[in-house]
């Protein structure tokens, strides 16, 4: 007997076995046939997510790809929920922005907990805490997004949408074949950021502070 036999849901190549893959493909097809807002579609979607969660770690052969795999899984679920065949660039930017805010609830809860325990003046969470790590990651991703350098699957390409929809979660080789694109903030978010900068400059001028000229 081999010392480290492959898990029952995984073949020698690290891919899901045909039986599990077939079950998953049938669930995806069933979801596609249902009305996206119906109760049956919601249940089918939950069933599919439950299956993916069970096999995700088994199918992941190299943990260094886990962040990218998690990102791809987010966009895959968005495709399933939206039932779209292609996205506009603005829609893709909105999805990217939503992705960067995925841990906001946990971060907010951590700040609320700090307030309850008498540390309301805290400006940043402890970087070693889970919520603190999420906050650091959020700041990094937001910076990339603001600079138009945040990498996401190119859902403006119908073929990428189709391939990602059919992607077997955790399969690194398939993930590498998906075309990506770098995007920035959605237009509405850009306007908000510009408004904040303009407001800050105006406030500084009113306070008699020197405001650097824009290049």
Q: Per-residue pLDDT tens for 135-154? A: 999 999 999 999 999 999 99
Q: Please tell me the predicted confidence (pLDDT) of residue 191.
A: 64
Q: Which of 49-58, 142-151, 153-162, 163-172 has the lowest mean pLDDT?
A: 49-58
Is the whole model's pTM more than 0.75, yes or no? no
Q: Please tell me the predicted confidence (pLDDT) of residue 128.
A: 86
pLDDT at 179 > cutoff 80: yes
How many CA atoms does the CB half-sphere of 92 hold within 13 Å?
22
Alpha-carbon distances of 152 from 15, 164, 171, 179, rounded to whole Å: 24, 12, 17, 9
3-state secondary structure the chain: CCCCCCCCCECCCCCECHHHHHHHHHHHHHHHHCCCCCHHHHHHHHHHHHHHHHHHHHHCCCHHHHHHHHHHHHHHHHHHHHCCCCCCHHHHHHHHHHHHCCCHHHHHHHHHHHHHCCCCCCCCCCCCCHHHHHHHHHHHHHHHHHCCCEEEECCCCHHHHHHHHHCCCCCHHHHHCCCEEEECCCHHHHHHHHHHHHHHHHHHHHCCCCCCCCC
Mean pLDDT for the chain?
A: 76
* Cβ atoms within 10 Å, residue 213: 5
Are the C-beta atoms of residues 9 and 55 closer than 8 Å to each other?
yes
Of 128 and 102, which is predicted with more confidence? 102
The two three-digit tokens of residue 145, written as one number: 């997004």
């Amino acid at each position: 007997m081999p010392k480290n036999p492959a898990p029952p849901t995984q073949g020698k190549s690290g891919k899901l076995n045909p039986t599990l893959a077939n079950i998953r493909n049938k669930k995806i097809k069933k979801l596609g046939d249902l009305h996206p807002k119906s109760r049956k579609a919601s249940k089918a979607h939950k069933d599919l997510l439950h299956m993916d969660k069970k096999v995700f770690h088994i199918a992941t052969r190299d943990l260094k790809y886990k962040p990218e795999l998690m990102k791809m899984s987010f966009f895959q679920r968005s495709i399933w929920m939206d039932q779209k065949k292609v996205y506009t660039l603005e829609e893709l930017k909105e999805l990217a922005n939503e992705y960067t805010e995925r841990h906001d609830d946990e971060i907010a809860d951590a700040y609320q907990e700090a307030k309850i325990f008498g540390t309301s003046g805290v400006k940043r969470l402890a970087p070693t805490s889970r919520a603190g790590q999420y906050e650091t990651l959020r700041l990094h991703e937001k910076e990339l997004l603001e600079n138009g350098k945040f990498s996401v699957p190119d859902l403006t390409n119908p073929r990428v949408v189709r391939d990602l929809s059919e992607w077997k979660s955790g399969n690194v080789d398939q993930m590498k074949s998906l075309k990506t694109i770098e995007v920035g903030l959605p237009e509405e978010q850009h306007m908000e950021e510009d408004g904040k900068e303009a407001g800050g400059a105006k406030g500084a001028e009113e306070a008699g502070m020197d405001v650097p000229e824009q290049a």
